[in-house]
Amino acid sequence: MSGGRSRGPRVVVGYDGSDAARAAVAWAAARAGRTGKVWVVHSLDPVHPAHDGGEGKAVLDALVLEGGNALIDVDYHLELVTGDPAEALDLSAREHDADEIAIGSRGFGKLRATLGSVSHDLLHRADRPVLVIPGNAVSERAGADG
């Protein structure tokens, strides 16, 4: 066996502040455990110059402050990037030699899927496994837990 096999899972996860994205972060953290690494990636829209990074930084800070319990025992890194979200996740996964990519899906329905979505684009772009957590799975689980 090679020595490189002893490291834990390396997971890149997209984060936009949604419930499905928080669920994806929790899954990625659980998957990585104490021996792996998680890169939480938030992508800013380059078309809107009002995004100077302050809003994106606030989204990532809120994850750590409000929902950071999932990340407590995990080696994680926050990445704020500008550009297409699917491309940013794919590039981050390649750069960090991630084993997989996790992303939440808001589940906007068939019309949104026809026009394209980050998860759909990522599934066609990525060269490694992609886990897509649908928004309704998050709400159904919350209803079962509450």
The pLDDT of residue 53: 64
Q: Residue 29 has what pLDDT?
A: 94
What one-letter code names the amino acid at 62?
Answer: A
Q: Please tell me the predicted confidence (pLDDT) of residue 129.
A: 97
Number of structural domains in the chain: 1
For 37, the domain range is 7-145
First to last CA, the chain: 45
Instruction: Classify residue 33: in a domain, yes or no.
Output: yes
Asked if the structure places residue 1 within a domain, the reply is no
Q: Is residue 88 part of a domain?
A: yes
Q: Residue 96 falls within a domain, yes or no?
A: yes
**Residue 100 included in any domain:** yes
Q: What is the CATH number of the domain that holds 89?
A: 3.40.50.620
Judge whether 80 and 60 are in contact, CB under 8 Å: yes
pLDDT recorded at residue 69: 79
Does residue 117 form part of some domain? yes
The residue among 37, 10, 36, 40 whose CA lies nearest residue 25 is 40
Of 63, 85, 93, 75, give the one whose Cα is nearest residue 38: 75
In this prediction, the residues of the chain whose per-residue pLDDT falls under 50 are 1-4, 49, 111, 114-115, 142-143, 145-146
Spatial separation of the C-alpha atoms in residues 17 and 74, rounded to whole Å: 19
Q: Measured between alpha carbons, how far is 98 from 90 in angstroms, rounded to an integer?
A: 10
pLDDT at 120: 86
Spatial contact of 81 and 42, defined as CB atoms under 8 Å apart: yes
**Does residue 2 form part of some domain?**
no
Q: Is 123 domain-assigned?
A: yes
H and E: helices and strands count for the chain? 6, 5
What is the CB neighbour count within 10 angstroms for residue 13? 29
Other C-beta atoms closer than 10 Å to the C-beta of 82 total: 12
Burial of residue 73 (CB within 10 Å: 0-12, 13-18, 19+) is: exposed
For 73, the enclosing helix (H) or strand (E) is none
